[in-house]
Structure 1
Amino acid sequence: MVTSGIQTESQRAGLEHLVRTLPKVSLHCHLLGSVQASTVVQLARRHRVDLAGHTAETLYDHDSYEDLGEFLRVLDVVGSLVRDLDDLHRITYESLTLGGAAHQVLHREIQISPPGHPGVPYPRLIEGITAGMRDAHTDTGITSSIVVGLCREDSVSQAMEIVETVIEHRTDEVVGIGLDYAEVKGAPAQFAPAYARAGAAGLRRTAHSETGPPRHIEVLLDELGCDRIDHGYHVVDDPRITQRCVQQEIPFICTPVSSDIGRYSGSGDGSHRRIAQMVDAGLKVAIDSDDPPMFGTDPTHDFRALARALGYGLEELAGFTRNAVDACWLDASDKAALRHRVEQQITALASDAAAPHD
């Protein structure tokens, strides 16, 4: 692990330039969690919903989300306000442009949760989201796809129903499934039948594993067929499982700021010690921002937080992006094109850093 700190004004400015211009690939960003507070307030006004006096400034209480239940409650409120095609288009477009391309995100695999959109049929949900994806690509060049999340707090039969719906209404934009909401309320093994069905249909598979024991990592790999893990900080508690994941090059998509608030990747002190341990162990780590505005972050800030806490520079931060390219679910030709764009920008950053500056 790099331990040298950023001390001088010149070094601080260099770090800021680096994290802002570094190319990024986003594999763990929830659509509902990326809705700006000002947009939530406007949607509430449009649909005549009382937010109990909350304004854009008070709606998201970042520190309270140490309590996952409170965070999920607010997330469900946001989902209840996204009701039609215009709403879906807007939040998707804003997530990919203001919350994506503006931070040098070149590609995002959007995590969506159909149960979080009560009253919106799945085909309409996909229609609105893909419309936003197309317009964001036209306007900024960002590419994107969709990962459909199963709610682990629901029944296995409900999860299977979502998978069957995804398969029945399959579109090119939907590339895989995930498993989210509170891990303590839904251990992963029970969802193996739904994952097997998804895998048989050619869908890629990931799952959140943030609060469970290390053995859950092996359940995700062996019983659910996942080829990457969302979070997974507890893997370093078991040296055997850690070494297995190193050897198999299993990608872990970590979210520094939100996980620090939730006390999963550290102790709420900004040390990000779990991520440091994962990197030092040789695990394949990529970085994203989870639910950015809800946790007071953005794609740039998550890289900034790691760089400041751990002394990471271009080599380490670019490594996270390269790992994300490897872990993304693009086909071979599109992945090669993305890798080329990433390497071009990293080379330019390295050249700029090496050039003499007055």
Structure 2
Amino acid sequence: MTRPSTTWSTPVPTDPAIDAMVATLPKISLHCHLIGSVAPQTVAELARKHGVPLERSAEDLYDHHSYEDLGEFLRVLDVVGSLIRDPDDFHRVTYESLTTGGADHGVLYREVHLSPPGHAGVPYPTLLEGVLAGARDAETDTGVRATFVVGICRERSGAAAVELVEQVVEHRADEVLGIGLDYAEVNGPPGRFVEAYRLAARHGLRRTAHSESGPPRHVEVLLDELGCSRIDHGYHVVDDPALTRRCVEERVPFTCTPVSSDIGRYSGSGDGSHRRIAEMVDAGLLVTIDSDDPPMFGTDPTHDYRVLAHALGYRRDQLATFTRSAVEACWLDDSDKTALLARVEAMVALTPDAPAPVPAPVLQEDPA
């Protein structure tokens, strides 16, 4: 299988040792959206299939750095979602996300985030039929395993969220493990969705939610009122030392996405420093790494690890810790986690380490 070339939105220096390390490392994917995983060429072909004109060519479809404006990113996301309409479409984009967008990068397991509200007019059973078939075929062909997280659009009402959870329960599939909460946090504070999350809990669904731009208090609401077992993004947790200590003690997982969050100015002020992730790691928080909406942000699972290797000096041991943390944070049962961790450790043992970064020289002031 040939992996399409990627035009990376965050260029890094050429370093063969780092490239070999990040390419070989195993990866566990807990924060990757299906709509955001669709390659530009696939978008163009789906548009032709459904007779929908696009305002840009496939090559120019994703304007990576315009997404520091979240509204522009969500607009493009909705355009792509509107083109995925029938079971064959859902099969295709799921299969591609898990193979060329996953297994080709050493992804062993992915909890795919679905956004039913982003596919206007598509019945939930139609979506489910396609993604389950795509996941089965991807596992048969590459060994990558997938389960699913159904995302609630926080820009809609609490009643709409309850209706979506009711759909998930009515059409329950073993591969659908839980629910999430996405779209613009400023337009949908988490307290609006308590009823939907409690309904999910009663039916044994796991819970997570995005919290990328809100105050630390939102993390407390997600934990205490929505019953989330992990947080997507959550960089602002380090602004509250007491909350940080609590999350360290309770081993609350945070699914961080370096490239997309840097472009969106959540985890490093858009300066490539990724300082928020560094602060979270240094505080002892349970951090995992993924690529969010890979082609839309000009990245892929390997490149997000590469970026951290260059920006923060992380090497095999720290990067492998992110993967081990993702095994701990995933929603598989204990026996499946044990088997998955064994696969991870076997691949880590074969991963070449890159030399440690050379510290920058300390410049002495001229006494004159």
**Structure-1 residue corresponding to 2:27:** 24
* Residue identity in the other structure for 1:33: G
In structure 1, C-alpha distance between the alignment counterparts of 2:209 and 2:19, rounded to whole Å? 32
**Structure-2 residue corresponding to 1:233:** 235
TM normalised by structure 2 equals 0.92
**Structure-1 residue corresponding to 2:84:** 82
1:214 aligns to 2:216 (yes or no): yes
**Structure-1 residue corresponding to 2:360:** none
Please give the secondary structure, in 2, of the residue aligned with 1:111.
strand
In structure 2, C-alpha distance between the alignment counterparts of 1:298 and 1:275, rounded to whole Å? 18
**Structure-2 residue corresponding to 1:4:** none
**Structure-2 residue corresponding to 1:138:** 140
In structure 2, C-alpha distance between the alignment counterparts of 1:348 and 1:98, rounded to whole Å? 22
Deviations 1:110-141 (A, max 9, x none): 00011011121101110000000000000000
Please list every run of 5 or more consecutive structure 1 residues that lacks an aligned counterpart in the other structure.
Answer: 1-6
Residue-pair matches, total: 344
Q: How far off its partner does 1:150 sit?
A: 0.3
Please give the secondary structure, in 1, of the residue aligned with 2:31.
strand
1:92 aligns to 2:97 (yes or no): no
Please give the secondary structure, in 2, of the residue aligned with 1:207.
strand
Deviations 1:75-101 (A, max 9, x none): 000011011111110000000000000
Please give the secondary structure, in 2, of the residue aligned with 1:326.
helix
Please give the secondary structure, in 2, of the residue aligned with 1:145.
strand
Alignment check: 8 A CA contact 2:151 2:179 kept: yes
* Residue identity in the other structure for 2:54: L
1:314 aligns to 2:308 (yes or no): no
Please give the secondary structure, in 1, of the residue aligned with 2:172.
coil
Q: How far off its partner does 1:248 sit?
A: 0.4
Q: How far off its partner does 1:272 sit?
A: 0.2
The answer to which structure has the higher helix fraction is: 1
**Structure-1 residue corresponding to 2:46:** 43
Please give the secondary structure, in 1, of the residue aligned with 2:48.
helix
Q: How far off its partner does 1:8 sit?
A: 11
In structure 2, C-alpha distance between the alignment counterparts of 1:83 and 1:317, rounded to whole Å? 37
* Residue identity in the other structure for 1:296: G
Q: How far off its partner does 1:353 sit?
A: 7.2
In structure 1, C-alpha distance between the alignment counterparts of 2:16 and 2:184, rounded to whole Å? 39
Q: How far off its partner does 1:56 sit?
A: 1.2
In structure 1, C-alpha distance between the alignment counterparts of 2:351 and 2:69, rounded to whole Å? 39
Q: How far off its partner does 1:223 sit?
A: 0.3
| Distance verdict in 2 for CA 1:240–1:110, change over 3 Å | same
Equivalences for 1:260-271 in 2 at 5 Å? 260-271=262-273
In structure 1, C-alpha distance between the alignment counterparts of 2:16 and 2:28, rounded to whole Å? 23
| Distance verdict in 2 for CA 1:353–1:259, change over 3 Å | closer
Equivalences for 1:162-177 in 2 at 5 Å? 162-177=164-179
Q: How far off its partner does 1:267 sit?
A: 1.1
In structure 2, C-alpha distance between the alignment counterparts of 1:8 and 1:57, rounded to whole Å? 24
In structure 2, C-alpha distance between the alignment counterparts of 1:8 and 1:124, rounded to whole Å? 44
| Distance verdict in 2 for CA 1:353–1:271, change over 3 Å | closer
In structure 1, C-alpha distance between the alignment counterparts of 2:13 and 2:164, rounded to whole Å? 53
Q: How far off its partner does 1:334 sit?
A: 1.2
**Structure-2 residue corresponding to 1:253:** 255
1:340 aligns to 2:345 (yes or no): no
Identity of aligned residues (%): 69
Deviations 1:45-83 (A, max 9, x none): 11111102x111111000000000000000000011011
**CA RMSD for the aligned pairs?**
1.4
Alignment check: 8 A CA contact 2:155 2:184 kept: yes
Please list every run of 5 or more consecutive structure 2 residues that lacks an aligned counterpart in the other structure.
Answer: 1-11, 356-368
Deviations 1:307-352 (A, max 9, x none): 10000001100000000000001112111111110011112226x7
**Structure-2 residue corresponding to 1:14:** 17
**Structure-1 residue corresponding to 2:362:** none
